[in-house]
Amino acid sequence: MILNENEIINDCKGYVNSFEKLYSPFATRDADAIRRHNLKKPDIRTNFSRDSDRIIHSRAFARYIDKTQVFYLVKNDHITHRSLHVQLVSKIARTIGRALHLNEDLIEAISAGHDIGHPPYGHTGEEFLSDLCLKNSAGKFRHSVQSIQFLEKIENTDLSIQVLDGIVCHNGEKYDTHISPQKCGSWKEFDERVIKIRDKEEDIHPMTPEGCVVRFADTVAYIGRDIQDAKEVGLIQKDHQLPESVSKILGNENRDIVNMLIMDLISNSDMEESCSVSYSEDVSAALNELKEYNYEKIYNNPVLTSQKNKIKNMYECLFSEYLKDLEYENKKSKIYTDFLNNHWNTGINSGYAESSEPPEIVRDFIAGMTDNYFESRFYETVIPSKVEGRFGR
């Protein structure tokens, strides 16, 4: 018997409905998904699985491959890049979500898109790009908000509000012991919270428990992995031991830290009565101490930060150059050939340039660059080009 398309879709819906009977009462159901436009008709995928596919097939997602995580000026094939980090976040978050009977498709979609807005050179680049945006009246730059800019305004992926909200509220750098969802009832409220996060740096919890899980998983994915990478590149000795107050609770190796944090979250979270994601007090205190340790030994290590001024100069140079190119309509500039006139199936074809100020366009172009592309554009801007052969008379 050959089923038609509608029969296949109905069969899949029946399977999803039967599976959702196992969910926590607080889990997000597939039917809860709300889109701003509803550009395409439903198919055999769940709403949130379709969101995940839309993110994975975006051009912004493809650029994860050459966006570094922490060690942005280190040549080593075994350290973490953004592409690996988002996979780790997804795996960890889905493990936690499965144990708490939450929607794994929603978790996967939020995980896939949560770091798309990161500019070249990670948080260092984010700091410099934010300064330039403020100086040019484009508001503060926050990578979580920029992820929404790419997925909504530039590539127009028409994702559900639950996925976009989880992305913009992920804030893995925040010290969280316990969080519960903060409701967001409309697109108007969502747009308002995006502005609050960007301009006021307000800490807003995701609207779904799945988003809360991803927010915790972001920290679980990087906190021990950064130590592992630091050992890999020689910033920390391979036999180095973490402070005893940390190691006796979390362990000393990344695998032990990840396992302990996952198990503690599963044990202390409540998806039956209060809808909360939580660490125990002991584990929370040890994790906070480990974050402080990482800042001292890794993120603020002079060896790692010694070339920050060069990176700052590169950002300033390219931002200024592309502003000039827009002002004088230099159509040979990469901001035209590789961005504005590169006809993607995106928001760029539906009024993006007309509705954006020049500093915002420059921000979006630079934020979307991979590290290597960023360096190539800088060399192209400051190094004179050589010509072949002889000059004609």
Q: Are residues 136 and 55 in the same domain?
A: yes
Q: Is the pLDDT confidence value at 219 over 80?
A: yes
The residue-averaged pLDDT of 328-340 equals: 94
Q: Is the pLDDT confidence value at 345 over 50?
A: no
pTM over 0.95: no
Pick from 323, 295, 313, 331: which is nearest to 374 by CA? 313
Domain termination site, one of 276, 305, 334: 305
Q: Are residues 324 and 286 in the same domain?
A: no
Q: Are residues 295 and 374 in the same domain?
A: no
Q: Give me the pLDDT at residue 250, please.
A: 97
Q: Give me the pLDDT at residue 80, please.
A: 82
Domain termination site, one of 305, 327, 346: 305
Alpha helices, DSSP H only, in the chain?
A: 5-20, 47-56, 59-62, 82-99, 104-113, 122-135, 143-148, 161-168, 187-195, 209-232, 244-250, 254-268, 281-294, 302-305, 308-327, 334-335, 352-355, 358-367, 371-382
Q: Are residues 227 and 370 in the same domain?
A: no
Q: Are residues 298 and 313 in the same domain?
A: no
Which residues fall within 8 angstroms of residue 146, CB to CB, at 6 or more apart? 116, 117, 118, 119, 363, 364, 367
Query: Would you say residue 247 lies in a domain?
Result: yes
- Quick one: what percent of the chain has pLDDT higher than 70? 91
Q: Is the pLDDT confidence value at 8 over 50?
A: no
Identify which has the larger pLDDT, 4 or 143.
143
Q: Give me the pLDDT at residue 41, please.
A: 73
Q: Give me the pLDDT at residue 352, please.
A: 86
**CATH number of 72's domain:** 1.10.3210.10
- The least confident of 228-237, 356-365, 366-375 is 228-237
Query: Would you say residue 357 lies in a domain?
Result: yes
Q: Are residues 262 and 345 in the same domain?
A: no
Q: Are residues 104 and 189 in the same domain?
A: yes
Q: Are residues 294 and 320 in the same domain?
A: no
Q: What digits encode the pLDDT tens for the residues 34-75? A: 999 877 777 788 999 999 999 999 999 999 888 888 888 788
- Rounded to whole angstroms, the Cα distance separating 266 from 283 reads 12
Q: Are residues 131 and 280 in the same domain?
A: yes
Q: Is the pLDDT confidence value at 393 over 60?
A: no
Residue type, 199: D
Domain termination site, one of 305, 322, 347: 305
Domain count, the chain: 2
- Structural domain for 369, as ranges: 308-382
| 3-state secondary structure at position 213 | helix
Q: What digits encode the pLDDT tens for the residues 10-25? A: 555 555 666 687 899 9
Q: Are residues 99 and 189 in the same domain?
A: yes
Query: Would you say residue 14 lies in a domain?
Result: no
Note whether 146 and 195 are within 8 A (CB): no
- Rounded to whole angstroms, the Cα distance separating 295 from 291 reads 6
Q: What digits encode the pLDDT tens for the residues 173-218? A: 777 899 999 999 899 999 999 999 998 888 899 999 999 999 999 9
Q: Are residues 164 and 184 in the same domain?
A: yes
Q: Give me the pLDDT at residue 34, please.
A: 94
